[in-house]
Structure 1
Amino acid sequence: MEIVIRGGHVVPGADLPEIPRGDVLVRDGMIVSVGPPVDAAVPVIDATGLVVAPGFVDAHRHVWQAPLRGLGADMAMPRYFAEILGAALHSYTPAEARLATLLGAVEALDAGVTTLFDWSNATTRGPDHTDAVLDAFEAAGVRAVVGHTDPGDDARRLASRHGRVTGALAVLGGEYGDWDEFVAQLRWGRDLGLMVALHAGGPVVRPLHDAGLLGPDLQLVHLNAITPDDAKLLADTGTPAVVTPTVEAVMGHGPSAYGRLEDAGARPALGVDVVINSAPDLFEPMRDTLRTRRLSSSADRPPAASILRAATIDSARAAGLSDRTGSIEVGKRADLVLLDGLSHLTGTAGDLAGAVVSSLTPSHVRTVLVDGVVLKRDGRLLYHDLPVLRAQAAPLGTRSRT
């Protein structure tokens, strides 16, 4: 199957030059050419006046919390642990976990997020919940990495998955649990070839380095207390770091580590984290990061385009998927978004990657493809009815308030 996205302003990402008027040819879900006009009798998506960009990659989200959106506007961490990770999580049946995950995945797709690294607490409940989560992502059509939170046979089978929905290991980590147990889990996950993710404030970085445990297959999330010296350790070892600036600010984690990481030479990724107190898209985290960087005392004003990189190729690297997604390049899977709102600038040599960060919102997401399959076209989801999903999942949110 072939399709060509014709005449758009192509923003390939990964620091590649923009193409003011270019075609993107997709064959069997793979990008086979970028730029030159395609003269072939294949189905066409007319992208005239639109920005063609890599699909956004959310490197850290608890997708199962989608029905709880808005419940935690003033929720601090103690209440979050008790009410969300405690009561709400443990009330989910497998069917409810599927519905919640499907809702979260479709909301992400609607906002142009084509890949999710799901820190899936719901998988802790057992194999039936894990199957429900996997089925939800398959049904949604999104690319997903399901971070299982319990090392064992249930997580082991995720290591054998290939294709659009794959597995990872999401562990408590060295700062919040027993160190020896954490190291054993990390090595177990690595032996299976899984990306291993953990929440961290920052103090764990030095012990990880001294033990020789840092590396590209270890993802550290938040790091609000990381020092510049420890940020350099992550950069030097290629260890991915993910920040979730909107939620970190609202819930009082501390100042975002993005600037310290970037200044040290690391390539920080972006995530939504939880929607109990934030929106399910990456536009706000991108702008939040841009504002914070521009307000810092740094003499250098980072280009806005660098923040788009954080939400695409750098987040793909943090999810272990940079060889498959995160940029528009020949040989990668066709995970693409078409964005309106900048038609007066498309076709020029201007920096539209920066304009995407500074000026657009989810309402500008016109068309979304994952693996070459069109899931949203001309502003309309093709396979899922988002209002219906929200209505079906509403009782889960209502139950959590009682």
Structure 2
Amino acid sequence: MTAPRTLIRDGVVITVDQELGNFTQADVLIEDNLITAVGPNLPVDHVQVIDGSRMIVLPGLIDTHRHTWQSVLRGIASDWTLGQYFERIRAGIPPAYRPEDVYAANLIGALEALNSGITTMLDWSHIMNSPEHADAAIQALEDAGLRAIFAHGTPSDPPSEWYFQSTRRHPEDVKRLRRSRFANNEGRVTLAMAIRGPDFSTMETTAADLRLARELGLRVTMHIGGGLRGGQLRSIERMHQAGLLGPDMTFVHCNCCADHELRMMADTGGTASVSARVEMQMGHGMPATGRLMRAGVRPSLSVDVATAVGGDLFDEMRTALQMERALQNQAAMSQGQQAAQLELKAKDVLAFATIDGARTCGLEDKIGSITPGKQADLILLRRDTLNLTPLNEPCGSVVLSAGPQNVDTIFVAGKMVKQHGRLLNCDIEHVLQLATASRDHLFNTAGVPVGSTPVNFKQTA
């Protein structure tokens, strides 16, 4: 539990607020669910004091695209291409999912995210095989204690009817959710729509799905421009021609989108999510980080799938940063030159994982920076550690050296949910048992190959 007034005293504070700047030693005051003051030596009393003298205080990290329902399939796609992923994960296993499997996966996936410093996560949920599946996914997000955007997607049973030029419209159950659990946008868990878009459905279907989302007042997110096929479709250009683009849209991946399409996205206020680790493995194309920025779009970052990569954003920040730097350096070297300075900075990538993530989720007025008046979604990183001592450049150290092991304390909406390196009010052993039992059921039922060597799930359960 957290007192109504909490003071984090004497921390290194990275606000990600351009007007406030950063502090080598400052306090952060939390009152109820809000940040109310930031600065050195705040004159307050009658507060619960947290010693921040060995901490880096920064906004909670924000993951803008994660298929959390796949968390119990962790690691099985570590050697797979995108084609193998579609065949084995998207087509092979989803029919075996029960609502309780979605709950178990969303719970362990959301807790993994929260434990690593992700205080907000967009759950891109295309396992909506029934209304009960949706309810289970939402309940797990509620129970995990993080801030979440539940992006209601399509069923995966059978996927052949819902993907690749599908004419089926978005499931009507999203209307039930909007009328009931999500009648407003004020909860810790809110609603969005994860639509297929022109890469995976017809333009007529895309237009209908967008109309539905806008009638319901929901933001939309879609995969776009991943791999050769995604680039050839020129989906953003076609949506622009149809007058469908708008500031309520997030485009995931964008690797093979043309530069002029990225400018169309920028001109209409769209946002983007980059999942560099998965994109580099599965053949989506080079991460579009730098091209997006040059087009006027500040990207956000996302984990995508725990089937292939770890569930924290520290590795995602590092990968996005260093991949873009490699592209810059290689371009210079191909001209017989050396880059005079690096274009993409560590502070840019930290912004991708915080304030730009908030903007992508339509929450930039509520979260994403340590700004008085915003929700108190904060993480405290231990800096008296082998990987962060001595602390010489805080932003660079957070992005390039820190990891989940440094996350000591977490607040979500002013409530302390992690302290001294341990999640609070969480029966981890029960969560692990749920996840393992779900994995056993799915593997036994599906019987599909795993990894580079075909393995019968019945033999591994």
Smaller-chain TM-score bracket: over 0.9
Q: Distance in 2 between matches of 1:82 and 1:207?
A: 28
* Secondary structure of 2:6 counterpart: strand
Contact 1:106/1:386 (8 A) holds in 2: no
Q: Distance in 2 between matches of 1:126 and 1:44?
A: 47
User: Structure 1 length normalisation: TM-score?
Assistant: 0.94
Contact 1:334/1:369 (8 A) holds in 2: yes
Q: Which residue of 2 aligns with 1:362?
A: 404
Pick the aligned partner of 1:7 from 1, 7, 10.
Answer: 10
* Secondary structure of 1:67 counterpart: helix
Q: Shift of residue 38 of structure 1?
A: 4.1
**Deviation digits for residues 289-340 of structure 1 (CA, Å, limit 9, x no counterpart):** 1111221236551211110000111111111211211111111111111012
Pick the aligned partner of 2:281 from 250, 270, 278.
Answer: 250
Q: Distance in 2 between matches of 1:297 and 1:218?
A: 28
Contact 2:17/2:371 (8 A) holds in 1: no
**Residue 420 of structure 2 aligns to which amino acid in structure 1?**
D
**Residue 3 of structure 1 aligns to which amino acid in structure 2?**
T
Q: Which residue of 1 aligns with 2:167?
A: none
Q: Distance in 2 between matches of 1:48 and 1:187?
A: 51
Q: Which residue of 2 aligns with 1:308?
A: 350
Q: Distance in 2 between matches of 1:252 and 1:341?
A: 37
* Secondary structure of 1:337 counterpart: strand
Q: Which residue of 2 aligns with 1:104?
A: 109
Pick the aligned partner of 1:197 from 221, 224, 245.
Answer: 221
Does residue 1:160 correspond to 2:211, yes or no?
Answer: no
Q: Which moved more, 1:190-199 or 1:224-233?
A: 224-233
Q: Distance in 1 between matches of 2:376 and 2:282?
A: 35
Q: Which residue of 2 aligns with 1:341?
A: 383
Does residue 1:227 correspond to 2:269, yes or no?
Answer: no
Q: Which moved more, 1:24-33 or 1:76-85?
A: 76-85
Pick the aligned partner of 1:174 from 184, 187, 198.
Answer: 198
Contact 2:71/2:306 (8 A) holds in 1: yes
Q: 1:30 to 1:66 in 2, by over 3 A?
A: same
**Residue 126 of structure 1 aligns to which amino acid in structure 2?**
S
Q: Shift of residue 388 of structure 1?
A: 4.0
Q: 1:391 to 1:147 in 2, by over 3 A?
A: same
Q: 1:108 to 1:38 in 2, by over 3 A?
A: farther
Q: Shift of residue 390 of structure 1?
A: 2.3
Q: Shift of residue 396 of structure 1?
A: 2.8
1:378-389 map, 5 Å: 378-389=420-431
1:75-154 map, 5 Å: 75-122=80-127, 124-150=128-154, 151-154=170-173
* Secondary structure of 2:317 counterpart: helix
Which has more radius of gyration?
A: 2
List runs of 5+ in structure 2 lacking aligned partners. Answer: 155-169, 226-230, 330-338, 444-456
Contact 1:369/1:376 (8 A) holds in 2: yes
Q: Distance in 2 between matches of 1:352 and 1:210?
A: 45
Q: Which residue of 2 aligns with 1:23?
A: 27
Q: Distance in 1 between matches of 2:61 and 2:296?
A: 22
Contact 2:104/2:438 (8 A) holds in 1: no
Q: Which moved more, 1:143-152 or 1:374-383?
A: 143-152
List runs of 5+ in structure 1 lacking aligned partners. Answer: none
Q: Which residue of 1 aligns with 2:164?
A: none
Q: Which residue of 2 aligns with 1:188?
A: 212
Pick the aligned partner of 2:418 from 376, 379, 384.
Answer: 376
Pick the aligned partner of 2:360 from 292, 297, 318.
Answer: 318
Q: Which residue of 1 aligns with 2:453?
A: none
Q: Distance in 2 between matches of 1:125 and 1:261?
A: 34
Q: What is the percent sequence identity of the aligned residues?
A: 40
Task: Give the aligned length.
Answer: 398
**Deviation digits for residues 1-25 of structure 1 (CA, Å, limit 9, x no counterpart):** 2211111111111435101111111
**RMSD value, Cα:** 1.8
